[in-house]
Structure formats: C-alpha cells, structure tokens
Amino acid sequence: MFAVDISDQPLDIAALGKNFPRSASETGAVVTFTGFVRGEGISALALEHYPGMTEQNILETIYSAARRWPVQAVQVAHRVGELKAGEPIVWLAVGSGHRAAAFSACEFVMDYLKISAPLWKRECDLQGNWHWVDAKAIDQDRAKRWGRGATA
C-alpha cells in the first residue's frame, strides 16, 4: 500500500503508527520518521500546496523508492496551513522485508520531500514578519546522492 495524506488537521502520530499496514509474513522492518516545526527564530510556519498535484508528486517519489528497494508499504502524512513550533509537520513510514531497504527508502523519500514536493513554505519571524522559504542547499546536496532521484 502506498498512500499520501495532505491535511490542515494535526497529525495523530500514534494513530498513524498503529494503523500502518504491514504483512506478518513479509514485513521484517518498519522505519518511521516524524518531522517537527523547529522554533529557531520563528514563531510559526505556514505551508501551502496545490491539491492533487502535491499528492501525485509525492506518490511518484514513493513509486521511485519502490523501484529501488523492496518495500511493501509507504505512507506519507503531511500538514499544510499554519503550524506553531513543536508541532509535527510530516510523518513517513516505510515497511520492507529488511531494515536496510526500509531505512534507505525512508531517507530517499524524505530527501525528495524536502526539495521537490510542491509545498510552499513561509516563516513568521519573532517580530511577526512573514517571508518565503527556499529549499536549503544542504537538503539539495543530500538528495544528489540518489542520482536522478524521484524520476529514476
């Protein structure tokens, strides 16, 4: 099962983990990642997206991961709207027969979420001023290690 959920509702990390599908006979490892809004010099983060396009782009990245590693399930839950520091912004889970594949696929999907998912971010600084945020060079460099990335 491959799934993407984009929502303006808070992420229920416990429920997502509990409901993540896994096969008792095939899944030997589930790797999860939860990203939180950091409060480093900001009071809030706002995300916008293009419904339909965002989900499709993330699904294409998931399918690319499935072509590279033997994964049975990948699920992404991502928040949009305004979030405060400390709130979960993204949850990602990958199920595979072996831990190495699950870890690699999880990292791959997260690296491409950071640089290519059509999610537009604005930060509100501590003085109340909003500004757009570009992908960080470090995130772009991390994604380069995968080669052609989500299109491969």
Flag whether 11 is in a domain. yes
Confidence band of 105 (pLDDT split at 50, 70, 90): very high
Which domain covers residue 12, as residue numbers? Answer: 2-19+27-143
Q: 3-state SS of the chain: helix, strand, coil percent to 5?
A: 35, 35, 30
Q: Please write the tens of the pLDDT for every residue from 49-58.
A: 999 999 999 9
Total number of domains in the chain? 1
Which CATH number goes with the domain that contains 34? 3.90.1170.40
Flag whether 148 is in a domain. no
The pLDDT value recorded for residue 152 is: 47
**Distance from C-alpha of 14 to C-alpha of 75, rounded to nearest angstrom:** 14
Confidence band of 141 (pLDDT split at 50, 70, 90): confident
Flag whether 92 is in a domain. yes
Flag whether 152 is in a domain. no
Read off the pLDDT of each residue in 6-31 and give the average, rounded to a whole number.
92
Is 71 or 147 the better-scoring residue by pLDDT? 71
Share of the chain above pLDDT 90, in %: 76
For residues 100 and 27, the answer to whether their CB atoms sit within 8 Å is: no
Q: Is the pTM of this model over 0.95?
A: no
**Distance from C-alpha of 106 to C-alpha of 85, rounded to nearest angstrom:** 24
Q: Please write the tens of the pLDDT for every residue from 80-103.
A: 999 999 999 999 999 999 999 999
Between 19-28, 37-46, 142-151, the lowest mean confidence (pLDDT) is in: 142-151
Flag whether 114 is in a domain. yes
